Structure 1
Amino acid sequence: MRAVKTVISTAGNLKRENPTMNEVNLICLRAIRDANVPKFLQDDLKLFNGIVSDLFPKIREKPVDYGILEEAIRKSCIKENLKDVDGFVSKCIQLYETTVVRHGLMLVGPTGSGKTKSYEVLAAAMTSLKGQPAASGGNYEAVSYFVLNPKSITMGQLYGEFNLLTHEWTDGILSSLIRQGAAATDTSKKWYMFDGPVDALWIENMNTVLDDNKKLCLSSGEIINMTMMFEVQDLAVASPATVSRCGMVYLEPSILGLEPFIECWLQKIPGIMQPFSQQLASLFKRFLKVSSHAVPAFLWLGTCQLR
């Protein structure tokens, strides 16, 4: 039911964006694609496209022009010394679309797929477009994000805890951050990014946040209303209850390939090494690409910002 609700919400946004569009099938097709494509891998997309073509055999979908958002994302990539790979830009746009229809979402993928940079680039792009009309309706707003690792601290330090001896409530890191965001007078969006493994030890307490009521009920009696994002490598230990409540955006290293890492690294090498940049690029092409561990080995060097 949550997946169906997401498709319906997406279809409603598309109809408001294109009020003169009379083809119901086209709106349904775009809504199904927008709600499901971000969570599929490259191999899954082939099967999904086959199913969609059977369901809508006579519908020919036109490419969607994201205009100023795509341009802003590419400018943000260049500003942060990143390669504006088409696949990476598409994932940033999919992340934006997911934030429109979901208040809880997960960025899933192995190291080197661009999870961290995707939301950082999107936040910078949305901030640069503040006040301009958005493709999903309304206007773009500035974005502030807060990152914490939930597995590096205890449950009491994360959510807050009640001391049985003194009968005092001590705020946790998450509750303090959210209270600051709720008390802020600006209209910017607040993204709370949990960068760490998702498991039942701490995520189950957030099921009410990820539901439609969006409420985090603390032992202090307070009720807090905010949006949550998660950055994880996999969902091996996540419960179905949590997964069904979140929008998913999967990222793969194959989307980027090795070229962006090499180009970004060569642009940041010290000036004394600049005369040898072409030779280094040739060596990377001859030896690094043929290695089965090319991307992990390159990431291990710690010389490229994209992760």
Structure 2
Amino acid sequence: MRALRDFNLPKIVTSDVPIFLGLISDLFPQLDVPRKRDPELETAVRQSVSELHLQPEENFILKVTQLEELLAVRHSVFVVGGAGTGKSQILKTLHRTYANLRMKPVWHDINPKAVTTDELFGYLHPATREWKDGLFSSTMRELTRQVGHDGPKWIVLDGDIDPMWIESLNTVMDDNKVLTLASNERISLSSSMRLLFEISHLRAATPATVSRAGILYVNPQDLGWSSYVTSWIDTRLAQSERANLTILFDKYVPYCLEQVRCNLKTITPIPENSMVQ
């Protein structure tokens, strides 16, 4: 029951959670299993959160530990959620936690949409038949070469999913863990390497891609806007200013957001966080 519940909850939308928990309780009547917790990891996560000047929200810490649990069993993970839901901060917090636990993590950030597919994976020059290496392939080769380094090595692909480049990664994401290039070179993913995709939706991904990776879904309701505001108020210097700002935000912002939500129609959908910012 615990495996079913804790492995599937991270990827379920908030409104579907009660339905899912209802199904689980039908399968296992009168069974209440507490979540398996790792107190050492949670303490380390809390420390990282305070070092990064964030708010130690229970939901946020839960998401970081869920990501760590996913990375333990999957070598590729989609972190899905809209803009401003805290995806980058979840990754940064876990990365800082690894660093604090003396695991020497390595992080490579790539925007796959900033370059063409050829520039991402490399290509054979049509005239000279010369091999030109790509951004992703060279990063992966560089990480594979670090032999004496056992710490977690992440390649974070931060950009919208598009079948042009994601389909080429299917062999890397399944159990073969091998990237085959056009030059017939094969680069394998070592056991400490992880692929992380930071994306807002999975509309363009095929079932073949989605089934190959773990999914951590970050709901807009998980953090809300209040923790952003608290972090921003903490940066103000004068004590009186901080106290007054807190009162003013609590007084006006929820009411204004309610009015905007009920009475106004935006041409471009704007997340609540962006309005508050």
Shared fold, TM over 0.5: yes
Q: Is 2:73 aligned against 1:95?
A: no
Cα distance in 2 between the residues matched to 1:274 and 1:60: 45
Which residue identity is paired with 2:275?
A: A
Cα distance in 2 between the residues matched to 1:277 and 1:59: 46
Cα distance in 1 between the residues matched to 2:25 and 2:7: 16
Name the SS of the counterpart of 1:245 in structure 2: coil
Name the SS of the counterpart of 2:175 in structure 1: coil
Unaligned runs of 5+ in 2: 261-271
Which residue identity is paired with 2:233?
A: L
Cα distance in 1 between the residues matched to 2:68 and 2:5: 14
Identity of aligned residues (%): 35
Q: Which moved more, 1:66-75 or 1:223-232?
A: 223-232
Question: Aligned match of 2:211 in 234, 244, 252?
Answer: 244
Q: Is 2:26 aligned against 1:54?
A: yes
Conservation of the 8 A alpha-carbon contact between 2:6 and 2:35: no
Aligned-pair distance for 1:70?
A: 0.6
Which residue identity is paired with 1:260?
A: S
Name the SS of the counterpart of 1:202 in structure 2: helix
Q: CA RMSD in A?
A: 1.5
Question: Aligned match of 2:188 in 200, 207, 225?
Answer: 225
| Matches for 1:155-170 after TM superposition, within 5 Å | 155-170=117-132
Q: Which moved more, 1:153-162 or 1:53-62?
A: 53-62
Residue 105 of structure 2 corresponds to 143
Residue 33 of structure 1 corresponds to 5
Aligned-pair distance for 1:288?
A: 1.4
Residue 282 of structure 1 corresponds to 247
Question: Aligned match of 1:257 in 207, 224, 233?
Answer: 224
TM-score normalized by structure 2?
0.89
Which residue identity is paired with 1:183?
A: R
Residue 235 of structure 1 corresponds to 202
Residue 128 of structure 1 corresponds to 100
Residue 266 of structure 1 corresponds to 233
Conservation of the 8 A alpha-carbon contact between 2:174 and 2:212: yes
Aligned-pair distance for 1:176?
A: 1.2
Conservation of the 8 A alpha-carbon contact between 2:85 and 2:224: no
Corresponding pairs, count = 259
Residue 298 of structure 1 corresponds to 276
Question: Aligned match of 2:47 in 67, 75, 93?
Answer: 75
Name the SS of the counterpart of 2:208 in structure 1: helix
Unaligned runs of 5+ in 1: 1-28, 131-140, 300-307
Which residue identity is paired with 1:143?
A: P
Aligned-pair distance for 1:274?
A: 4.6
Which residue identity is paired with 2:49?
A: C
Which residue identity is paired with 1:204?
A: E
